[in-house]
Amino acid sequence: MKERTPKNIFVQGAISSAFIADSIQKHSTKTDIGGHSIFLGQVRADEIEGKKVVAIEYTAYEEMALQKMHEIRETVFAEYPLTCMHVYHSLGKVAAGEICLFVFTSSAHRKAATEACSVLVERIKAELPVWGAEILEDETHQWKVNQ
Amino acid sequence: MKILFFGQLVEMIGAKELLIEDMTDIDTLKAFLHQQFPLLAQSKYIIAVDQEMISDNRKLENHNIVALMPPFSGG
């Protein structure tokens, strides 16, 4: 297998729908692909003790997260016959309703893409040193807990 | 050595990083930090030394970078 160097997955602020559309468009030249699977994480306006979440502010141990993501990428590539894998995670403030995580896998046949996408999302949430502070409407915040 | 803090621990400590010299091992460092920051002793966190997560005690040198990380909540 080809050696892949750690890629930067972090983007400042929300991931725009234009960026996502563009990313899909770029694959039209890769005609060995038969299926894509996309996961989009969106900031939910939860209510915490009567106060609405208006945004999540993400911070990360960036160096370690990129190294960990590199390992995850390698193992998932080794396990599934994927053509492509793209992961983007927000840093900084992302408002409720905006996209904070974009995972995009492609393969010749659908099963590899859908299964790898799901495995990636679970591993990203469990293993990357990233933290989200939920900013409430009164400008206080509380720290997000992953379920 | 450089001690890095993340997430809610940054607020608890009041800094993203501290420089602390001559801590012989993780247990010594933890005891020192817990004494300085009593709230930290009640917090859940894991430790990475030079970006490698560890669960047992281990020797430290001044060139190590130690990270204290609360439970991850990305995505």
Specify the CATH number for the domain of residue A64: 3.90.1170.40
* HSE-CB for B30 with a 13 A CA cutoff: 19
Chain A closest CA to B36's CA: distance in Å? 23
Is B74 a domain residue?
Answer: no
Is B17 a domain residue?
Answer: yes
Confidence (pTM): 0.94
Indicate the number of domains in chain B.
1
In angstroms, the first-to-last Cα distance of chain A is 34
Q: What is the pLDDT of residues A38-84, one digit of tens each?
A: 999 999 999 998 999 999 999 999 999 999 999 999 999 999 999 99
Residue A3 has what pLDDT?
A: 56
Confidence of residue A135 (pLDDT cuts 50, 70, 90): very high
Is A120 a domain residue?
Answer: yes
Is A3 a domain residue?
Answer: no
Amino acid of residue A98:
E
Domain with A115 in it: 10-143
Strands, DSSP E only, in B1-75?
2-5, 17-19, 46-49, 52-54, 65-69
Indicate the number of domains in chain A.
1
Domain with B49 in it: 2-58
Contact B7 A143 (CB under 8 A): yes
Structure tokens at A51: 């106060």
Chain B closest CA to A42's CA: distance in Å? 9
